[in-house]
Amino acid sequence: MIYAHSANDLGNWHPLKEHLTSVARIAKHFSSGLEWQDEAHLAGLLHDLGKYANRFQARLKGLDSGLDHWSQGAWLALSEHRAIAATLAIQGHHIGLQQGNPDALRRLNPITLSQNHPLKLDLSHADVAELKKRAEADGLEFQKPTATAVPTNKVEQIVASMLDVRMLFSCLVDADFLDTEAHFNGDANGKRFRSEGPKLDVASALSALDSFMSASIRKGNQADKNVLQVREKLWREVTTASSAPNGLFTLTAPTGSGKTLAMLKFALEHVTANKHLKRIVLVVPFLTIIEQTARIYRAVFHDFPENFVLEHHSMAGLGCESTSIDAEGNTNNTGERQRRLLSENWDAPIVLTTNVQLLESLFSNRPSSCRKLHNLIDSVILFDEAQSLPQHLTVPALAALSHLSVAYRSSVVFATATQPAFDTLHQAVIKESFRGWQPSEIAPNNSDMFSQLKRVRVRWPMNGEKTSWNTLAHKLSEVKQVLCVVNLKRHAAELLDVLKDIEDVYHLSTNQCAEHRRAVLENVRTRLKAGESCRLISTQCVEAGVDLDFPLVYRALAPLESIAQAAGRCNREGRMNTQGKLGEVIVFEPEEETSRRCYPTYAYYQAAEKTRTLLKINHGELDINDPELYREYYQQLYDLTKPESQNERLRKAITARDFAEVARLYKLIDHDAIQILVPWEGRRDEFTALLAEADRIGISSEWMRRAQGIAISIYRPQAGHPAGSVLIPAKLRRGGVSDEWFILQDPQKTYYHATRGLQLPQSEQIFIA
């Protein structure tokens, strides 16, 4: 008997033929309905061809060193079947996708590899013909695919073509992970596969949403009648638009108009009209939004099966692929198999995730990051607060999403009150994906909604006036209820220092774990509703999509869309309008040594400067209720910054079809991130239970899901950083320790502050903004 994997806990070994045929079957199922499903099946059969070698079988018994067992199947897929996507997927199913240019493919020849292997490995066997004979003798048949994901007879649009490779790669690696997991979780009856996620019951979901809307939104809502009228109008607009075939859409509506539920309504109705659609994925830029949205979705679907709504927003795990090889042929023998088995594959009807998770996965080369991509096929993908897409990544992102819509039958919706003029980048996008970017607006009559929902008056800074923290603190202390949004965590800390003797001051930032932020927001909402004093100092994390309603907002000068989003937290429900008043938004400029130091990134600074320019052109006044203002702003900003010409290194990596380099350069967050479990007092018992479980048996995927509420993402500290002394790697369930999950050792309650959250030694350079 020839084996794929060593014994599981019951002592059962995993036969290679069974593994290959099972992976092929699952991979073909994942690609069902696509032209290249036969190629996915072939990739499954060939991905572990090198395990037929005697040396690999000896390696399973600990009698040989690390071996390359994947390149032989990759070469057979290329040399006999011209299946380029299968070739790259097979080559990368342990080490990550590599290069897809002709020179790199030629170097897969076993003769070349046996003389100069890039990972300094031996091949398990260099004679591919001999391995093929052994596989055929074992009952396997390798048939030429009727169609391939990367045709060899036409010019490709490279972003689209690379996504096709990643899609086939996703089908292969998820099938491989699931079958391997089933073996190692096997019981007396054989392999035990994880349970499939629940299916999207659209009729029941729509009924639950309509009931929630009637009970929680329409009845007893204290919002101004204009706000309620606009929400009802938007509700009708999305229903009308939902009958369109799958494609690209925008949803432009003012803050406070109920976009969160309206998007969900559109998606469910859209699935009803387009029967092939099977999943809804909501993508948000900030953890504060996903926390609030998850709470709403849980309330809507509280009677539905567990994991009907899946939250997946860890920012860890998107780093570089390890290249050391263990006995199974897995990279990183201290836990790479567990990393892969614990990674999410988004097998749920509704998924809530982040821009980081979705967009970086679309450009990743890692098996654990890409395994979920095939579940974007036949999906409705909703981007909330679409203005947050970084400019330097915009064109390739739009190209990938456009191709996802055309080739994989999905719909993509960009929703925001401050809609970027992405359609002006159509000609740049079309070079990478033939459909380009020309979305349809779901609410074409949105200008009426914006004019009807005028709830604030904005006071802009005059003649370059600057405001000190002491002056600002004095102004904040004189009013009863006020929100102040600043651009940097450092600024928030300085302002909190000045306000330390003032009562009823609250703070919000991503230095706090999700449950801590949730508690702060609930406390703030309660005090606002009761008319009690409340002064909230926050970073930008409060702006987009967070449901708060202050009578007064101070906002540090920022990009125009950020100011508008902050204004959406002012008089949100329009209740001041009934008294003949408007909410007030005061834009100020902090005193700083240089203006650049007032902003988190250079792109943010450029956008803020464009706001300053528009103010000068318009004599110190801008109407944030005019949707045309944002189009003018974005067009001028794009003329200045030229997103299509940004990120030259990324464009060169795409042209070279260098998957590993593209993955390294396509980062919404420039640094590798880790997760830290923190002992917030509000969830001390939960922390203690998770800590005990991690110490006793190690962490699991279920543990990670439970831990997300009291975890914080930070940039990975460099070796020797003082923070490392208080961050203990979490133990993995099957041995070794995690390089992504850490536990804060804080017995003296020194490093997690009740107001400010995580305060690690010399932490400014390692916190994620």
Among 407, 441, 475, identify where a domain stops: 441
Q: Are residues 20 and 85 located together in one domain of the fold?
A: yes
Is residue 637 a part of any domain in this protein? no
Q: Given CA atoms 288, 291, 296, 297 in this order, what sign does their dihedral have? A: positive
CA nearest to 328, candidates 19, 120, 85: 19
**In 660-756, which ranges are E strands?**
673-677, 711-715, 727-731, 737-744, 752-753
Compute the distance between CA of residue 660 and CA of residue 83 in angstroms, rounded to an integer. 20
Q: Phi and psi for 229 in degrees, rounded to 5? A: -65, -40
Kindly give the parts of the chain with pLDDT less than 50: 315-324, 327, 331-336, 341, 769
Query: How many domains does the chain divide into?
Result: 4
- Please give the pLDDT value at position 747: 82
Strand partners, 483: 536, 553
Q: Are residues 49 and 121 located together in one domain of the fold?
A: yes
Q: Which CATH number do you get for residue 543?
A: 3.40.50.300
Q: Which token pair is 43?
A: 């990739």
Q: Are residues 409 and 485 located together in one domain of the fold?
A: no
Among 624, 645, 660, identify where a domain stops: 624
Q: Given CA atoms 752, 753, 756, 759 in this order, what sign does their dihedral have? A: negative
DSSP 23-70: HHHHHHHHTTTSTTHHHHHHHHHHTTGGGGSHHHHHHHTT-S--EE-S
- Please give the pLDDT value at position 768: 52
Which 3 state secondary structure label does DSSP give 689? helix
The burial of 617, by beta-carbon neighbours within 10 Å (0-12 exposed, 13-18 middle, 19 or more buried), is given as exposed
Which 3 state secondary structure label does DSSP give 92? helix
Among 184, 215, 248, identify where a domain stops: 184
Is residue 318 a part of any domain in this protein? no
- Please give the pLDDT value at position 236: 93
Is residue 220 a part of any domain in this protein? yes
Compute the distance between CA of residue 688 and CA of residue 665 in angstroms, rounded to an integer. 38
Contact between 81 and 42 under an 8 Å Cβ cutoff? The reply is: yes
Q: Are residues 168 and 208 located together in one domain of the fold?
A: no
Is residue 282 a part of any domain in this protein? no
Q: Which CATH number do you get for residue 417?
A: 3.40.50
CA nearest to 558, candidates 628, 488, 616: 488
Q: Are residues 605 and 464 located together in one domain of the fold?
A: yes
Contacts of 622 (CB under 8 A, 6+ apart): 458, 460, 560, 611, 614, 615, 629
Q: Are residues 616 and 711 located together in one domain of the fold?
A: no
Q: Are residues 227 and 371 located together in one domain of the fold?
A: yes
Is residue 356 a part of any domain in this protein? no
Compute the distance between CA of residue 414 and CA of residue 243 in angstroms, rounded to an integer. 17
Q: Are residues 58 and 111 located together in one domain of the fold?
A: yes
Tokens 């926050």 sit at which residue? 538
Q: Are residues 214 and 152 located together in one domain of the fold?
A: no
CB neighbourhood size of 157 (10 A): 18
Domain extent, residue 405, equals 202-273+362-441
Is residue 701 a part of any domain in this protein? yes
Is residue 668 a part of any domain in this protein? no
CA nearest to 561, candidates 583, 545, 586, 544: 544
Is residue 326 a part of any domain in this protein? no
DSSP annotation of 490 reads H
Compute the distance between CA of residue 736 and CA of residue 332 in angstroms, rounded to an integer. 10
Q: Are residues 153 and 208 located together in one domain of the fold?
A: no
Q: Phi and psi for 452 in degrees, rounded to 5? A: -70, -25
Q: Which CATH number do you get for residue 112?
A: 1.10.3210
Q: Are residues 486 and 612 located together in one domain of the fold?
A: yes
- The vertex-357 CA angle with 353 and 362, nearest 5°, equals 120
Q: Are residues 166 and 218 located together in one domain of the fold?
A: no
The burial of 764, by beta-carbon neighbours within 10 Å (0-12 exposed, 13-18 middle, 19 or more buried), is given as exposed
